[in-house]
Amino acid sequence: MSIKLSVIVPSLTGEMPRGLPEDPRLEVVPVKGVSPVGKARNEGLRRATGEYIAWVDADDEVTADWLPEILAALESSPDVVTIDATLVGWENRCDSVWGVRPESVTIERLRRDVYRDISRTSALWLYVTRRKLWDGILIDETVTQLEDFLVLPKVLERARTVKYLPKRLYRYVRRQGSLINSKDIARNSSCVFVAIRRYEEASPKSRGAALWGAATMAYWTLDVANVKYTAAERRSFGDALAFGRRFLAIHLVNLWRESRSLESLRMRCVWMGRFVTAACNFWLAQRIMGRLRRRV
């Protein structure tokens, strides 16, 4: 029997995710002791033999329905299957990663939403993709954070069909001390450069959505620097802060145009307020916008 699905599991310690079943149609590809995670994922890609590729982080969980639901979806041979997830331990809430549940998801909408980072994120574990979409594409091993943010749009640009499963089949567990929770200034400041690089590498048809995604990531990074870090720590962000502010300032007019797709005028104004305060480095105003962010 040929392998239908390969699941790649990067793990520094050899830990395996909870709930991952044994099945002859499933090939589990653990990659132990390889860092950074982009390098581990590339190693997994080289070793995987399945027709489709899935990603599961070692410290996360999949539900009992994860494999049967995905295999059923693959029977129609889509290029991409995308699922919902539950965030466990995320600011004391459990929310779906998918913000809205449309009746259907086209590949065009999926690309736009991934670039905009509004109702879809670039976390690889939300996607099962046909193996051939990855031909000639590798994850940048020099990027230690947001490596999936950078590579997933390139893969989706090759896709033609998508199947959306509006079910929370994955449990993303946010743990203290994990990479995303670490207070690593160099890593956090690199997010600005990665986000703007993704915008610069986007295809012409995706440039508008990619601009919004880049501005959003630049804002979050500036928000972290100005609201959560000390003055001495903020100085360590150096060029990243200046680069992010300059990027936002240059694109404010285009961002206002792109904000037309938001659901309300209030949302447009709130987001533009965030971008303006970050671009101008209005520290106190950004604190106020940060409080508004938690209410919206």
User: Could you read off the pLDDT of 9-26 as tens digits, one per residue?
Assistant: 999 888 899 999 989 999
154 and 204 both lie in a single domain: no
169 and 188 both lie in a single domain: no
d(CA 119, CA 94): 16
- Whether residue 178 is contained in a domain is answered as no
**Which of 149, 173, 197 is the last residue before a domain boundary?**
173
| pLDDT value, residue 94 | 53
| pLDDT value, residue 38 | 93
Helix/strand/coil percentages in the chain, nearest 5 = 50, 15, 35
User: Contact, 71 vs 4, CB < 8 A?
Assistant: yes
pLDDT (average), residues 206-224: 86
For the chain, what percent of residues have pLDDT higher than 70?
79
Determine the Cα angle at 91 with ends 85 and 92, to 5°. 85
User: Contact, 84 vs 45, CB < 8 A?
Assistant: no
DSSP E strand boundaries for 145-277: 162-173
Residues near 265 by Cβ (< 8 Å), separated by ≥ 6? none
201 and 236 both lie in a single domain: yes
d(CA 178, CA 171): 15
| pLDDT value, residue 154 | 94
**Which of 143, 173, 203 is the last residue before a domain boundary?**
173
pLDDT (average), residues 97-106: 62
152 and 74 both lie in a single domain: yes
125 and 192 both lie in a single domain: no
Which range scores top for mean pLDDT: 109-123, 157-171, 221-235, 254-268? 157-171
User: Contact, 87 vs 95, CB < 8 A?
Assistant: yes
165 and 62 both lie in a single domain: yes
Give residue-wise pLDDT tens across range 234-260. 666 667 778 888 999 999 999 999 998
Q: Read off the tokens for 98.
A: 């998918």
- Whether residue 143 is contained in a domain is answered as yes
CB atoms within 10 A of CB 154: 17
| pLDDT value, residue 179 | 47
The domain spanning residue 122 has which CATH number? 3.90.550.10
Report how many domains make up the chain: 2
29 and 83 both lie in a single domain: yes
Average pLDDT, the chain: 84
| pLDDT value, residue 296 | 45
CB atoms within 10 A of CB 17: 22
Residues near 138 by Cβ (< 8 Å), separated by ≥ 6? 42, 45, 151
For residue 78, is the peptide bond before it cis, meaning its omega torsion is within 30 degrees of 0?
no
Q: Put residue 22 in one of left, alpha, beta given phi > 0 → left and psi -120 to 50 → alpha.
A: beta
Q: List the domain range (segments joined by +) for residue 202.
A: 183-295
Q: Read off the tokens for 201.
A: 């590498």
- Whether residue 244 is contained in a domain is answered as yes
36 and 87 both lie in a single domain: yes
CB atoms within 10 A of CB 40: 23
Q: Read off the tokens for 44.
A: 């997994």
131 and 219 both lie in a single domain: no
Give residue-wise pLDDT tens across range 142-189. 988 889 989 999 999 999 999 999 889 999 887 655 544 455 666 667
CA end-to-end span of the chain: 50
132 and 64 both lie in a single domain: yes
Number of residues that make up the chain: 296
What burial class does residue 250 get, using C-beta atoms within 10 Å of its C-beta: 0-12 exposed, 13-18 middle, 19+ buried? exposed
